[in-house]
Structure 1
Amino acid sequence: MSAESTPGPGIPGPSGSSGPRHRARDRRRKKRGKRSKGALIAAWTAVGIVLLGGAGAGYVFFKLNGNLQSVNIDQALGSDRPTKVDNGSENILVLGSDTRSGDNQDLGGGEDDGTARSDTAMIVHVYEGHKTASVVSIPRDTLIDRPECTDTDGNAYPAASGVMFNSAYSTGGAACAVKTVETLTGIRMDHYLEVDFSGFETLVDELGGVEVTTTEPISDPDSHLDLPAGTHQLTGEQALGLVRTRHAVGDGSDLGRIQLQQAFIKALVEQVKSIGLFTNPTKLFALADTATKSVTTDSDLGSVNSLTAWANGLKSIDSSGMDMVTMPVQYDPANLNRVLLDETKADQVWTALKADKPIPESATEGTATGQADGVVTS
């Protein structure tokens, strides 16, 4: 991120006051368990897309096709949506979910209550020509006005004011999440991808690990992570700890964790492109099988053929062509647990994406960052 850190009155975490920042930080470091872990959505998306784009035909397609799940977002949202912009660009909402069931119960450390949560959300804007992209992370703790929405089963939910962004998904699933993002940004989401967390460790291990460099030590018992400064080939377990940690870097906030996730995503994209997957059909299939078991798409991408055709147009995007920012927010002076949308700066982001233009640096200057920029590099 290009934004410079600006001290704020507080960060997401347990309740505190508007007193000195270091005192608020100490109060915020209440143990949250393993629930908040960041689902690495864009990473999963990049890997899954690349893998699917190289998968062969016949039984491979049949097997992978059976893994995919899809939801009819268009039917649930109806016609009351932003106008689709026909300039060669695409906008994809990518969410990470934790169903707290099956494999995810072991990873999440919580009750198997059958509910679904989404702690990570990213708008991926693919520019005309499909060689570059901007990724805008939406902090889950942003206070918003959630619009009235209908889920894919036809259940209606009333609007709500001053609620956390991630309440949209927990309230009405994918359709309500898309509705909320479109209302917030005024941008039509062309596609939707949801990635379940359970296969993340397996994916990283099957890739042979992912190389990252830490510019300072990272030690967080809550996320079982202990990395000295230097270059590391992270195992799946270590990668999981890295994208979970929030207390060990920056100001201890979820914004800092977003910065770590963004750095890891770039490293993961480079890893996929560097290991020659397409010359190793066995490894390719194993990775594609893992990825597709964890992906839910909109109905337009709900088959391997459709997803592959779409993915083939994105293969030219590498980490150097990805501009990753966090939606402009400021710490909420009334509640240290939350952040507020910086509407003036956010409008710069949405205006740029609508026009298929790069996000200007001024859009993120002076916004809350989490102060973890540069701690992890690929």
Structure 2
Amino acid sequence: MFLVVTEHDESGDGSEPLVRRRVLKAVGLTLAGVLVLGIGTAGWAYWHLNHNIRSVDIDGALGDNRPAKVLPTPSSSASPLPTGALNVLVLGSDSRSGKANAELGGGDSGGARSDTAMVVHIDEGRTAATVVSIPRDTLVTRPSCPTPSGGTTSVAYGTMFNSAYALGGPVCAVKTVESLTGVRMDHYLEIDFSGFAKLVDALGGVTVTTDEDIDDDQSHLHLKAGTHLLDGTHALGLARTRHGIGDGSDLGRIGLQQKLVKALLEQISSTSLPTSPAKLYQVADAVTGSLTTDTGLDSLGELTKFGQSLGSLSADHVRTVMMPVVTAPSDANRVVAREPEAGELWASLK
């Protein structure tokens, strides 16, 4: 640009139109370059986020031998977004693969467990939801599950709920939940240790109030009772702690996990993600980078559409409960579903 102006000043031949054309050409090329760079960056970001997502074809693996789908009520709404009720199985996996997960307590590379299991029922209209936690220490009948090699596992009676994921991954986890509840899981979402911690950090932390001191060396969490702004590592510690609270059982931990879920929803709703592309990308990268879904949610477009359909769902309209349980007759350290209360709860989600 400077060279063009100097040439014009020295010529004195009245060639202003030529100079103007050169200036406009330079500006035009610059803007074009910025535009191409912007489009290229956006395209790369979309490709990156889209390829972050891992998926499992649960419908294909389980076939038709499942609880019936709930058909949506016909609506006259012209909204392009879905509004029907949904049941989503959400697992937090104790993944043992990858350096980041290992540093957060995932252990060796010998496998993974479903450390947290929640059935999220989204009401028709998608303005309210119920989150039902299933204790991982629940004794269940684990059905025969298909294996990746083409075989099947044997039915197991009185076995730990989280053994389904350890044995047969997401497919067996879904089938076991459907067998336990009689409710069709429309979608599956799984996030591992590092993904959860990165999500909290990307949101700037999460504010949680604890009712008692927590002192748990195993989850590396030491907190006084009160309100705390937790980073990703400490939020994960809160989600995992069990030995530092109550009787040290999984039931006490579930109460903290449910409190953390609501706090995260409040944090997300109070964060201006749409007005901050950098933060939005950071959050999206954190989520998709450690996410496994069913094939119905395995693209950025489908996940975005799903998220947009929940735009009217606030934390105030999310109810958190635990599946009713009692101590297992065969093992004082395990629980079983308490009937008829558990059955009535699941029936209300159909």
TM over 0.5: yes
Specify which structure has the higher proportion of helix: 2
Q: Which residue of structure 1 aligns with residue 65 of structure 2? A: 80
Query: What does residue 56 of structure 2 align with?
Result: 71
Tell whether the 8 Å contact from 2:104 to 2:233 is kept in structure 1 after alignment. Answer: no
Number of aligned positions between the proteins? 298
CA contact (8 A) 2:97 2:106 kept: no
Q: Taking every aligned residue pair, what percent have the same amino acid on both sides?
A: 57
Separation in 1 of the partners of 2:237 and 2:42?
36
Secondary structure (helix, strand or coil) at the match of 1:239 reads helix
Deviates more, 1:137-146 or 1:97-106: 97-106
Q: Secondary structure at the match of 1:150?
A: coil
- Answering whether residue 109 of structure 2 is matched by residue 112 of structure 1, we say yes
The 8 Å contact of residues 73 and 152 in structure 1, kept in 2 or not, is answered as no
Deviation at 1:153, TM superposition (A): 4.7
* 1:271 aligned residue: 267
Residue 262 in 1 paired to residue 247 in 2?
no
- Give the secondary-structure state (helix, strand or coil) at the position aligned to 2:70: coil
Matched residue, 2:152: 156
1:178 to 169, 174, 181: 174
| CA RMSD between the two structures | 1.6
Q: Is the 8 A contact 1:144 1:162 kept in 2?
A: yes
Given that residues 106 and 193 in structure 2 are in contact (C-alpha distance below 8 angstroms), is that contact kept between their aligned partners in structure 1? Answer: no
Task: Output the CA distance in 1 between the equivalents of 2:70 and 2:227.
Answer: 42
TM-score by length of 1: 0.76
Q: Could you say what secondary structure the match of 1:223 adopts? A: coil
Take 1:57 and 1:300, find their aligned partners in 2: how far apart are those partners? Answer: 24
Aligned to 1:367: none
8 A contact 1:76–1:154 mirrored in 2: no
- Residue 280 of structure 1 deviates from its aligned partner by 0.7
SS where residue 340 of structure 2 aligns? helix
Query: Which ranges of 4 or more aligned residues in structure 1 deviate by more than 6 Å?
Result: none
Q: Is the 8 A contact 2:327 2:335 kept in 1?
A: yes
Post-superposition CA distance 1:202-254 (Å, at most 9, x none): 22222211111222322222222222222211122221221121122222211
Could you say if the C-alpha distance between residues 307 and 206 of structure 1 is closer, same or farther in structure 2, counting changes exceeding 3 Å?
A: closer
Q: What aligned pairs does 1:1-378 form with structure 2 within 5 A after superposition?
A: 58-87=43-72, 88-102=84-98, 103-108=100-105, 110-113=107-110, 115-354=111-350
For residues 60 and 148 of structure 2, the distance between their equivalents in structure 1, rounded to whole angstroms, comes to: 8
Q: Hey, what's the Cα distance between the residues in 2 that align with 1:111 and 1:313?
A: 38
**Alignment CA distance shift 1:296-1:109 (3 Å):** closer
Structure 1 Cα separation of the partners of residues 96 and 193 of structure 2: 10
Per-residue deviation, 1:109 = 5.3
Cα separation, partners in 2 of 1:152 and 1:309, compared to 1, 3 Å: farther
Q: Deviations over 1:65-112 (max 9, x none)?
A: 010111110110011111111132111111122331112222225222
Partner SS state of residue 136, structure 2: coil
Work out which structure has the larger RCO, using CA pairs closer than 8 Å and 6 or more positions apart in sequence.
1
After superposition, what is the alpha-carbon deviation per residue over 1:283-310, rounded to whole angstroms, capped at 9, x for unaligned? Answer: 1101111110111111111111111112
The answer (yes or no) to whether the contact 1:243–1:260 under 8 Å persists in 2 is: yes
1:149·1:176 contact (CA, 8 Å) conserved in 2? yes
Contact 1:225 1:242 in 2 (8 A): yes
Q: Which amino acid aligns with 2:193?
A: F
Deviation of 1:152 after TM superposition, in Å, equals: 4.7
Residue 107 and residue 344 in structure 1: after superposition, are their counterparts in 2 closer, same or farther (change >3 A)? same
CA distance in 1: counterparts of 2:121 and 2:243, whole angstroms: 30
TM-score (norm 2): 0.81
